[in-house]
Amino acid sequence: MAEKIVSNKSNLQILHEDNHIIVVNKRVGDIVQGDKTGDKPLSEVVKEYIKEKYNKPGEVFLGVVHRLDRPTTGIVVFAKTSKALTRLNELFSNRETQKTYWAVVKNKPPKTQDKLIHYLKRNEKNNTSKAHSREVPDSKLASLDYKIIKELNNYFALEINLYTGRHHQIRAQLQAVGSPIKGDLKYGFDRSNPDGGIHLHARKLVFIHPVSKENIEIVAPTPDDVIWKAV
């Protein structure tokens, strides 16, 4: 997979940009959209970049298409026009995108590769989701497949293809099979990472461009740490 960085502006790593969309490699700790923490979201950083680069007067339009959890890294797509936003929202809601993630886990999963199907129930109070083997009230079907792509000294690197987009889906489903993600205290890992992040990375995204209709394939470089480098 070819990694490509179009622009690397201080705290903004841009993977793709054209008139209608901008794709960013999110860092650990960035929030995609504003929340109750009041921390500056990635969407505002991208708006400032666009305003400065193109000398745009007034408010910059930027549509948030999807999100990644705060401790997760990797590909985030934003829309620069309302036309692109409408079409991207349809693509993502209809699951007409191919999403590939990489994860590093401590315990070897039950199989070298497998499809996981669970029913996820969200707990709003503690902001978690629990994976159940059978349908329970207020649960939603969640499916993914994984394969082990590398065995490290103490860890296993997995490649994951996501078929549904549930709250904390990968984190909850991997915990359910006994393989919590490195650093993910919320989902059963025994200690946190020094940067507060987890080893889950939105690695690759394939979709049809909302305006030009060309096939877009984005691959995001992994964070600069010892374990990701080993993967």
Q: What is the pLDDT of residue 3?
A: 66
Q: How far apart are CA 220 and CA 74, in angstroms?
A: 6
pLDDT at residue 142 is higher than 80:
yes
Give the separation between CA 92 and CA 1, rounded to whole angstroms. 22
182 in helix, strand or coil?
coil
Residues forming beta bridges with residue 141, ordered by sequence position? 119
User: Contact, 220 vs 25, CB < 8 A?
Assistant: yes
Give the N- to C-terminal CA distance of the chain in Å, as an integer: 13
pLDDT digits (tens, 9 = 90+) for 195-213: 999 999 999 999 999 999 9
Residue type, 220: A
Is the separation of the CB atoms in 230 and 149 below 8 Å? no
The structure's pTM equals 0.93
CA dihedral 63, 77, 129, 103 (to 10 degrees): -170
The 10s digit of each residue's pLDDT in 98-115 is 999 999 998 999 999 999
